[in-house]
Amino acid sequence: MKIAIVGCGSRHKMFRDSVTKDYSDKHEIVALCDSNTHRLGEAARAIDKPGTNGVATYLAGDFGRLLDEQKPDTIVVTTPDFLHSDYIVRAFEAGCDVICEKPLTIDLSRLKHILDAQARTGRKVKVTFNYRYSPARTQIKEILAAGTIGTITAVDFRWHLDRVHGADYFRRWHRQKENSGGLLVHKSTHHFDLLNWWLGSVPTDVLATGRRVFYRPETAAELGLSDHGPRCHGCPVFDRCVFRLDLEGDENLRSLYLEGENEDGYFRDRCVFDEEIGIEDTVQAHIRYASGATANYTLTAYSPWEGLEIKFQGTKGELTHRHVEVHGVFGGVRDHAGQEAITTELHLAGEPPRMLDVPAGEGDHGGADPLMLGYIFDPDNQEPDRYGRASDHIAGAWSILTGIAANASIETGALVHIPTMLRARGIKLER
């Protein structure tokens, strides 16, 4: 398969390295595309083969020429979220299939653009929800699908972002909703997809609240950082700010971003306490599903630790899953947890609770990434996927609709009925 990657920021490396190192006998990267010539050159050098002319590179404005000249079979899209739809549609119309980093897109107009193009061309898109492939999350799916706790009636899902990972969304392009849809779309799409998949259902109604309560100028003042600059690099309070990002001291960040700033003026290290930030850091949503189940969802982006806590209530009992990914941030260093920090407890009515053995995997995201990439790039040599983990345009759409509805609810203060929201935009979700 001939593959082209558009978007050469940090996320593209997972796909680039998988193709060139693990599946080079089956696939070839024929082109790279980015808006920044420096990043484009860095990516091309990383896969340069001695004795060859190297991989073809194209600036974003030349994406059409890339399609004409290289005629790829598949486009991997790892650009900022608001650009996904344009590249997906153009790839479809050129006869290409697409592998897209989550989220599929960020709003209803762009979603309709994708769905209409898919219906028109018949091409396929895979949205890379790696959480589905984590052995621990797959175990949850298996238990629930088997009816072990009966009919699922209610779910409580809490996601904690620590003060390194969480802060990072407030210094990058994600900090404005017109770029990312906010955390409810960019980040929570993972969690809403898991809920859809675990419950085997889709959301119908959402009522949400959200605020920016931590990453704001008032917090900087409380920390004695009122005289901060617009970014970390060259900031007058750099040495005493625990939220600083040291682009110069990190070889990867320096080569990928700091050294490429003059190309496009993109600063990777904007201050997390800027007034102009347009996304929330604290969100809660109440969600109703077509199955009759309800869920309460909470995300905070300034927690002292990182991970998830989830509890499923069923007619036969309850299932509780907790995963501590990072114990805490100490002296600016994240203390990552091990497999022992993943627990699943099953408590059936009339029986004592019991801790289950949680399966483990090797590789990034608890073994999820290598497994997912295997199904994407070498499906014939994988076991049949009885869990239905692959995500197409329909699953990708449902994963963002909870977040889009939640954003609308935050803005209006009203309950949002998703079927009504879709009808108003002429959107039909059919395979």
- What pLDDT was estimated at residue 190? 96
pLDDT band at 147 (very low <50, low <70, confident <90, very high): very high
Q: Which CATH number, 3.30.360.10, 3.40.50.1980, 3.40.50.300, 3.40.640.10, labels domain 131-214+277-360+392-424?
A: 3.30.360.10
- What pLDDT was estimated at residue 54? 81
Write the DSSP string, 200-231: T--EEEEEEEEE--SSSHHHHHHTT-TT--SB
The domain locations on the chain are 2-129, 131-214+277-360+392-424, 217-264
In the numeric block, which tokens belong to residue 355?
A: 């801790």
In the numeric block, which tokens belong to residue 216?
A: 């704001």
Whether residue 84 is predicted with pLDDT greater than 60 in this model: the reply is yes
Report which secondary-structure segment, H or E, holds 345: strand 342-348
Q: Which residues of 170-208 are buried (b: 16+ CB within 10 A; e: fewer)?
A: bbbbbbebebbbbbbbbbbbbbbbbbbbbbebbbbbbbb
Compute the average pLDDT of residues 190-201.
Answer: 98
- How far apart (Å, rounded) are the C-alpha atoms in residues 95 and 112? 19
Whether residue 138 is predicted with pLDDT greater than 60 in this model: the reply is yes
Compute the average pLDDT of residues 58-82.
Answer: 97
pLDDT digits (tens, 9 = 90+) for 94-111: 999 999 999 999 999 999
Q: How large a percentage of the chain has pLDDT more than 70?
A: 99
Whether residue 338 is predicted with pLDDT greater than 70 in this model: the reply is yes
Integer angstrom CA distances of residue 197 from 20, 155, 384, 388: 31, 13, 17, 9
Report which secondary-structure segment, H or E, holds 166: helix 165-168
Pairing of the two strands 306-314 and 317-330: antiparallel
Compute the average pLDDT of residues 376-400.
Answer: 96
In the numeric block, which tokens belong to residue 36?
A: 């920044």
111 touches 104 (CB < 8 A): yes
pLDDT digits (tens, 9 = 90+) for 26-47: 999 999 999 999 999 999 999 9
pLDDT band at 276 (very low <50, low <70, confident <90, very high): very high
Compute the average pLDDT of residues 143-157.
Answer: 98
> Looking at domain 2-129, what is its CATH homologous superfamily?
NAD(P)-binding Rossmann-like Domain (3.40.50.720)
- What pLDDT was estimated at residue 360? 87
Specify the higher pLDDT residue, 220 or 368: 220
Specify the higher pLDDT residue, 53 or 84: 84
Whether residue 354 is predicted with pLDDT greater than 70 in this model: the reply is yes
Whether residue 113 is predicted with pLDDT greater than 70 in this model: the reply is yes
- How far apart (Å, rounded) are the C-alpha atoms in residues 257 and 250? 10
Whether residue 227 is predicted with pLDDT greater than 70 in this model: the reply is yes
Among candidate residues 390, 402, 430, 364, the one with its CA nearest the CA of residue 100: 390
Q: How far, in whole angstroms, is CA 206 from its chain's centroid?
A: 20
pLDDT digits (tens, 9 = 90+) for 6-18: 999 989 999 999 9
- What pLDDT was estimated at residue 51? 57
- What pLDDT was estimated at residue 50? 67
Compute the average pLDDT of residues 240-247.
Answer: 95
Compute the average pLDDT of residues 140-151.
Answer: 98
- What pLDDT was estimated at residue 52? 58
pLDDT band at 331 (very low <50, low <70, confident <90, very high): confident
pLDDT band at 332 (very low <50, low <70, confident <90, very high): confident
Q: How large a percentage of the chain has pLDDT more than 90?
A: 92
- What pLDDT was estimated at residue 363? 75
